[in-house]
Structure 1
Amino acid sequence: MPITTPGQLPLVDPAELIADPYAVYARFREAGPVHRITGTDGLPAWLVTRYDDVHQALADPRLSLDKRNAAPGGYHGFSLPPALDANLLNMDPPDHTRIRRLVSQAFTPRRIALLREPIRKTADLLLEAMAPLGRADVIASYAAPLPITVICDLLGVAPHDRQDFRSWTDALVAPDRAQPDKAKGAVRSMLAFFRQLLADKRASPADDLLSALIAVRDGEDRLSEDELMSLAFLILFAGYENTVHLIGNATLALLSHPDQLAELRADPSRLGSAVEELARYDGPVPLAIRRFPTEDVTIGGVGIPAGETVLLSLAAAHRDPRRFTDPDRLDISRDTTGNLALGHGIHYCLGAPLARMETEIALTALLARFPGLALDVPLAGLKWRPSMRARGLLSLPVTY
């Protein structure tokens, strides 16, 4: 993550980057399209800040996601065991093409569409439990339990087997430096859980995504055990974590923009398209997953050597006035064509339709159930997760 830009910008306070990344990234973006920075791990990286460059780089086949293309000593990210690391976020073609083709056979629009009614029912049950209280934390009571129920239903995890997924993802997204073994413990727990889950699905297949992934084949090709484990991990980690933040951030954005909230209350049918603007305005992923050039490249007129770490700032790109007029303003009527919140190119999020549907249903139900929904703390009192790679609230206290 960007901490300094040698010779160009002053030291960046990490607390400011967490509380208001958009102001920080605006300073980088206006100072230049690409910056040589020093990350929190002390290693150099290149930060790309302007929309056109980020958009193009997301689809550039020379920018590899495979960590093996990093320069020696140039990548110190958290290392997952092979059984969880063989996922689409660490792959390039042809491996990426093969895995995505197989997964697409199971992760179908029909399977996603069948989840709409269960999502709506789960949302209603959660809101029913909240209703008598008069006040609640939207994250703990609604935005977090809804996606985990959806993911477990999708994977085919029985209710009595559902583990504390949030503690696992917390340990990986925002690791506690005072407890370095906590993340490793979360990984061990996830490995044990998914190994048992896969064994159960092989013994007793059902009409769920994990059973379908076990069964898919392309000629003689099929997913290996490590690939299945890694996909289950990715679906849980990305599908759950990002959707929690998308729902939470969107709720906050609407509550802090009463004019936009009033427009949606007047016409709830606009919520589907509004989700795109809410994701642009304050999405759950400030930075795309790191890339490593397989050859020397030029981005924004800046030469970047092969193997060095490239960080693509979605947060900076989405607030670039060269692409979006008055970008710091939430406008649910905006044309959000080109929104990068769920990726672009061959790595476009496979679960994007599900994330959009969950968020639309969650917001529709929340606003309909609580006409008097309002923040229960000042904006300045809200606490954000201590992570510069995931943008999400620790809590969102409301009254209704």
Structure 2
Amino acid sequence: MEIKWKSYSALTKDELYALLNLRQQVFVVEQDCPFIDADFKDQDCDHLLAYQNNELVGYLRVAKPGKRYEGPEIGRVLTAEKIRREGAGKILTQEAIEFCASKYSNYEIGLSAQYRLLNFYQSFGFVPQGEVYLEDDIEHIKMTLTPTSNHKNFFQWRLGIHPLLILGGVISIGIIGSSFVKEIDVSQLNWVAKIDERAISKEKYEIYLESIAQSRKTGLIDSDPDNILERMIDEELLIQRGIDLGMIENDTEIRSTIIQKMIGSIIAETNDLRISRQDLEDFYSVNKDLFTPSPKLQLLKLSFKSNQTIAGNQARDLLIEGDLAAAKQLAENEVISLPNVLLPAMKIREYIGPSLTQIALSLEEGEVSELIELDGNFHLLVPLQKIISSAPEFNDVYQQVESEFIRSKGEELLDEYLEDLRNWYDVVKANDL
């Protein structure tokens, strides 16, 4: 995927037409939300264009400070449907954050997020502000991100901190940003420097030059181009050296960071899902148990040793006759007794285990179980009180159903992605040889 940043005035007619067309495909057609996309705000924005095989497949825009919010605003974030399982949405958002932090380093970054994407933007550090509001008849919420040292100008090195300390984050972002490196022919890239086979693209270099030029009233000075290139080479050298030293293989913190970022980028694609009410109703119909409150029981359990079957049967007869006190006298004293109150089934399971809990749930209120043999002892169960809640109405748990639906789709995406990786890479188990 090739990424370009352009001001409005630098956009060609074809580029402007393509980005408006893609925005309409996603926001108007796919999301079934008719609104005026050409809102006369594009003139005050920088535009990110992401291409794959010369086709526009991703886009977002960054409004200048003072237009809607005090700082820059990220908006119109989208990816074409065919690449939404490749982590592109997260890559574009991270690119926008770095662009804002570099070009407008002293400002808070803002965005008006669709409320369903709250978790996606929180994964980058954005914080919700105020109440949910309707924008184009869709729930939105304002979110802000205060750039930290990790988001400051790419070239602002901090004295006293060894550069290797930042390798974990840099390596993880680099890996995500260059998914399936095998498909890239480095020799064909338009580059300004190479470290072994790792290239620094000319476009990235020019973006940083432009950001420095715009951040200074006087623009670039003669030494800037060479100094900036040297700093970029330094960082690539540190990354490469970190890899050579086995930091990815041996540093658990870096490995954990990479894994979490990869999983996050994969499941974040659920934020681009088009979810209809019918999808949710079908999901609810199949998974009603997920949304039905757990049964509650006030349960009596009497236990007997393996040689006390006679006493156990006598106690059962007494329970059937209603003589609870006499039945308890025949039983063993419990080390941990069930509380004499209504408890959710999951809580009862903690006291008596899954097998006895399952039997207790199958009994009617007041019914005495047969003598149950388990782990060398015998047990009697009596549900003194039993409350089974019916499934709630769909509308009453709509938000829960939507969240669970998205979570399940995220698990499916992750499973599919991992299966693709197993087909992509050669996986050999020693025991299979």
TM-score bracket for the superposition, by shorter chain length = under 0.3
- Could you tell me the TM-score, scaled by structure 1's length? 0.24
TM-score with structure 2 length normalisation? Answer: 0.22
Q: Which has the higher strand share?
A: 2
Give the number of the structure whose alpha-carbon radius of gyration is greater.
Answer: 2
Greater RCO structure (CA 8 Å; 6+ sep) = 1
